[in-house]
Structure 1
């Protein structure tokens, strides 16, 4: 299974710019208003978790940046097998403060995962494996993670 990468503009790393090497946040998201033309409560939604992962491409050791092909291969081998039901990838540009206090600017990718809240205990180790493998494979300092509750209807 191939994952298509779409391009948008991202500003990534506000928390990382504060010197945090790892970001894990959790916040409740209010249920959205019903879609125009629908009746409130007519479309059941399910409790989900939305996880955003932010992958930088610059290498702190000064090596060559992670290429689009390398990132696609990483998605195909490490992310998609763990989340075969689907995901979204957005390409962007971000910045963060590295462990030496230097502001680094880089091309980045945001991967968005949606999964039922009931699956969170089994999803968490998969997500942590993805983060760890990216850090190891591409000599990264961190992959930022943001988790939030969501109400989802497909």
Structure 2
């Protein structure tokens, strides 16, 4: 079957792109699928092992109007309470957040996002540790809540 004008154009564009990227010969056409010259739709091979990623969002403003949680207080909390439960590692990011409090007021505050990665096979035990972290932060710093976001990931170190 003779190629149509559209498929010839597509082949020319793929060849030109491959040439610009430094590919030649058979490698220049490696991105073509077998069914008609379009880009390959095959998904890349997944890399990594199954992990759970949990992000915790810690506010620093206190509902009673007291002084906000300081950097020193937050990092001491992480050192004392979070790190012993997740010694393999974690990530902390400074953030600016807002939420509607229990009185309906939009609160804007400096906050932290803490990211934890742990093997999926350990998710039940680690979930209990995370709930301890949330409850302790709420109580210690007079917070209404610590937001929790969980997602399944493939992770490779």
Say whether the fold is shared (TM-score over 0.5): yes
Larger Rg: 2
Give unmatched runs, 5+ long, in structure 1.
1-32, 35-39
Give deviations 1:45-90, integer Å, cap 9, x for gaps: 1000000000000000100000000001000001000000000000
Aligned to 1:123: 126
Find 1:48's aligned residue among 51, 69, 78: 51
Structure 2 unaligned spans of 5+: 1-42
Does the alignment pair 1:89 with 2:113? no
Work out which structure has the larger RCO, using CA pairs closer than 8 Å and 6 or more positions apart in sequence. 1
Q: How many residues align?
A: 115
The 1-side partners of 2:95 and 2:116 are apart by 17
- Map Cα deviations across residues 14-40 of structure 1 (whole Å, 9 max, x no partner): xxxxxxxxxxxxxxxxxxx65xxxxx4
**Higher share of residues assigned strand:** 1
Moved over 6 A (4+): none
Two-structure CA RMSD over aligned residues (Å) = 1.1
TM-score (norm 1): 0.72
**Residue 147 of structure 1 pairs with residue 150 of structure 2:** yes
Structure 2-normalised TM-score?
0.71
